[in-house]
A and B are shown apart, each in its own frame.
Chain A
Amino acid sequence: MMNSNTVILRTAAMYLMPLQLLFSIFLLLRGHDEPGGGFIGGLVAAGAFVLFAFSYGSDALRSLIRLDPRDLLGAGLLFGLASAIPSLLRGEPLLTAQWWTIALPGDAELKLSSPLIFDIGVYLAVVGTILTFVIQLMEAEHE
């Protein structure tokens, strides 16, 4: 039932998914001082994958992302915790935000920070969790 063959849904999913994924990354990177962040970005990305799974089936999704969603979840948690380490290494209190500024050619500069690592971790963990659920539920229905 989930593997619906409506042309409209399939075509729409094909065009919507890349946009949603791009938007999720935009939300992720914007999130430090403005609305957005890892959790919301992760939800949007998971939404994109779920839409794809609904129109093409869970097997297609598995072969699209290649990784097992549980790996995403584990990696996400490790990323999130890793963001605590830089402050420890510098001997500052746990979770103190660390900023690294990289000068780019031209006048631009790139600001990286440990909260960003944390946000990426949350992003991956959210995507991993939702996809684990959804894929399991879809496959349970087939059995």
Chain B
Amino acid sequence: MNVLAIPLLIPLFAGALSLALWRSTRWQRVIAVLATASLLVSSIVLLQAVLQDGYVVLHTAQWAAPFGITLVADLLAAIMVVLTGIIAFVIAIYSLAATPAGHEKFGYYPLLHLLLAGVVGSFITGDLFNLFVWFEVMLLASFALLTLGGERAQMEGAIKYVTLNLFSSAIFLMAVGLLYGMVGTLNMADLAQKIAQVEDQGMITVVAMLFLISFGIKAAAFPLFFWLPASYHTPQVAVSALFAGLLTKVGVYALFRVFTLIFVHDVAYTHTILLWIAALTMLTGVLGAAAQFEFRRILSFHIVSQIGYMLLGLALFTPLAIIGGVFYIMHHILVKTALFLVSGISYRLLGSYELRDLGGLYRKKPLLAILFLIPALSLAGIPPLSGFFAKFIVLRAGIEAEAYVVTGIALLVGLLTMYSMIKIWAEVFWKATPEHTHEQKPLTDAVVDRGHWPLYVPIMILGCGTLLIGFYGQPIFVLAEQAAAQLLNPQGYIDAVLGVQP
């Protein structure tokens, strides 16, 4: 089923092509928009195929599983690839107006495509070691994107980012090695089948914890999340938005994959740890955000707290909770990217990300204010936007599972999220433009938005996305329900990859 390979090949080809055309930034821009648009289309085709058949499996080079590298898309993977397509497309449009010229010369577009290839590869691989390889592809590209421009703050952020992520990769590799030593296979479906036969189940739990630490770092979960708020506010805004939307979610996806498919031998132990990690991630993220007064840093801390909700869905491990987790990922990717993109426009208008330098945008740019308000309220969980339903499902699952303390924390975190969003709203849009900013960069009506449509259109697309999920939530809920049903029934995945065995 080569329909699975296309979303992976498109960014790879686009990257190679834009590298070959390194002399012409114009062509690179054209390729970026076309390639991401076709990535989106091909991902939707993939989703349809998965909806039809349940699973799409590709044994590359005709090496049957478990010997070759198998690509597998179940519903969750296909949904993630579609979300990647959406974010890639809007970021490519936004980059047309937002990327500084110097960055384009130093390979912004090839790196963008390489990153996307890494992300898509991580979603559709069916092999743990191959997952490691795609993680590295993604990280390599993200290191370079993070430091494009080479400012001091960027270097400082990049050092923290690189160090912790390399640490995480080392643990990942160690865990893969140990697992291979015990089970003798790295194909995920094969692992799921054979792991119960290992005598030393205690050792399996140790390996599961190693994976938890490694993916937890990538997902920016408590306690090793601090690389994220230290680095995400430093690169140019399109890169921030891309990272915010996609990168941590790859870690979350990996956790969902291994803790529903492979490590389900001792749920009472592993998923209880996950539950507390989720609660603490929510709480520290939101409290960190409350103490910040820089637009992108506030948003970065909120990524951390939102990761907590997704992990909560996984940790409760009931059908409804998994649905909530999947739904939350869908909602979060759209909303968070939109908020970062808004911060980019306000920076362009007033020349700062610091809340004390910003102000008065509601009077001059009412459209921008609305474009901020929709994702911001959605993030805080106000009905009828997507965030409300996402939170509602997770919380209800929490109450049904009688995890009252964690549910209480989740409610409190929702309230504090509202506080942060109100803070940004009051400072950036409501209050008058501060004198010192006004003198440096007067925001008059003469600052026209002509030629700035690439900045606004992406936010509108994402805003429509969150409204759509809110008002037309039933089909999305059914989609999440089907994805969760697949996750909770690993046998389907195993049979799809290895073939039904007698």
Contact = CB atoms under 8 A, between A and B. Distances in A.
Interface stretch (A20-28, A33-41, A93-101): A93-101
B253 to A, nearest CB: 22
A88 B61 contact: no
Interface in A28-77: 70-71, 73-75, 77
A97 B62 CA distance: 9
Given A93-B2, A94-B2, A77 B62 contact: no
A22 B2 CA distance: 38
A143 to B, nearest CB: 17
A67 to B, nearest CB: 12
A84 B60 CA distance: 10
A71 B2 contact: no
Contacts of A139: none
Given A84-B9, A88-B5, A74 B21 contact: yes
Interface string A73-115: 1110110110010011001111111000000000000000000
B interface, size bucket: 10 to 19
Contact of A71 (B20, B62, B71): B20
B180 interface: no
Contacts of B13: 78, 81
Contact of B16 (A71, A77, A92): A77
Interface string B14-34: 011101111000000000000
Interface in B103-123: none
A91 B1 CA distance: 9
A93 B17 contact: no
Contacts of B21: 74
Contacts of B280: none
A88 B2 contact: yes
Given A73-B19, A77-B19, A77-B20, A93 B60 contact: yes
A88 B71 CA distance: 15
Interface in B128-163: none
B59 interface: yes
Nearest to A97: B61
Contacts of B58: 93-94
B142 to A, nearest CB: 19
A81 B9 contact: yes
Interface residues of A, number: 19
B488 interface: no
B12 interface: yes
A87 B61 CA distance: 9
A35 B430 CA distance: 69
A81 B58 CA distance: 18
B17 A78 contact: yes
A81 B16 contact: yes
Interface string B39-83: 000000000000000000011111000000001000000000000
Contact of B2 (A73, A81, A91): A91
Interface in A2-33: none
Nearest to B16: A77
B5 A94 contact: yes
B20 A81 contact: no
Contact of A93 (B9, B15, B20, B61): B61
Nearest to B9: A84
Contacts of B2: 88, 91, 93-94
A94 B60 contact: yes
B16 A78 contact: yes
Contacts of B20: 71, 74-75, 77-78
Contact of A95 (B12, B16, B17, B61): B61
A77 B15 contact: yes
A55 B120 CA distance: 45
Contacts of A84: 5, 9
Contacts of A95: 60-61
A85 to B, nearest CB: 9
B402 to A, nearest CB: 47
Contacts of A92: 62
A38 to B, nearest CB: 15
B114 to A, nearest CB: 10
Interface string B465-487: 00000000000000000000000
A94 B61 contact: yes
Contacts of B12: 81
Q: Which 5 A-B pairs have CB atoms at the shortest separation, nearest pair first?
A: A74-B20, A77-B16, A94-B5, A95-B61, A74-B19
Interface of B: 2, 5, 9, 12-13, 15-17, 19-22, 58-62, 71
Given A70-B22, A74-B22, 11 more contacts: A70-B19, A74-B16, A74-B19, A74-B21, A75-B20, A77-B16, A81-B16, A87-B61, A91-B2, A93-B60, A95-B60
10 contacts: A70-B22, A77-B20, A78-B13, A81-B9, A81-B16, A84-B9, A92-B62, A94-B58, A94-B71, A97-B61
